[in-house]
Each structure stands twice: as structure tokens, then as C-alpha cells.
Structure 1
């Protein structure tokens, strides 16, 4: 005998799997690693500090 399958659950499981596959593909396509984000943040902070250090104070 075959096993009884709830079609609603099967549809939802298939839908979740498709969404997860799409999300994984988008993460690979658009995502950046934590190290890359940290490197960019550090570079931005250094550039901002350099700019602030060269700012003239007018009084």
C-alpha cells in the first residue's frame, strides 16, 4: 500500500523549498561576507577620520 499524502502540506513544503533556493541564489549573487562588510566599515571610518582631521576650525 502507498502512504497517504496531504496535498496541502506537500504544496507548502515545495513552496518553501523553492523560496529557500531563490533566497540562497540571491545571497550568493548580492550578499557579502561579514569580513567584507567589516572591511568597508573600517575603510569608511578611516576616511571620515582623515577628513575630520583636515577640517579647519573657524572662529
Structure 2
């Protein structure tokens, strides 16, 4: 015979895992300081300017 499981505990555990994954994704997406965001924006602008400066006209 199989093990007896509590379906409520199983369901709550599954839901808790899904919420944890969503929280982790939100921490990565929104969990940066203003200084980190501005530094990243400046870095992207610097890279874009470098690529635009090296572009040859067709």
C-alpha cells in the first residue's frame, strides 16, 4: 500500500513553492537600488554609443 498523505498539506506546499519562485523572480526584477539602475543605464548607453560610433554607413 502507498503512504497516506494529507492533501491539504501537499497543496499548500506546492503553492508555497510557486510563490517562492515568483518572489525570487520579482526580487531579481525589482530589487535593485537606484544607484545600480542608473549605473546599468549608463553602461548600456556607453555600449550603444560605442557601437553607433563604429558603424559604417551603407
Moved over 6 A (4+): none
Query: Under a length normalisation based on structure 2, what TM-score does the superposition of the two structures give?
Result: 0.53
> Which runs of 5 or more structure 2 residues have no equivalent in the other structure?
36-58
Aligned residues between the structures = 35
> Which runs of 5 or more structure 1 residues have no equivalent in the other structure?
41-59
Aligned-residue offset at 1:2: 1.3
Query: Under a length normalisation based on structure 1, what TM-score does the superposition of the two structures give?
Result: 0.52
For the aligned residue pairs, the C-alpha RMSD in angstroms reads 1.7
Structure with max Cα Rg:
1
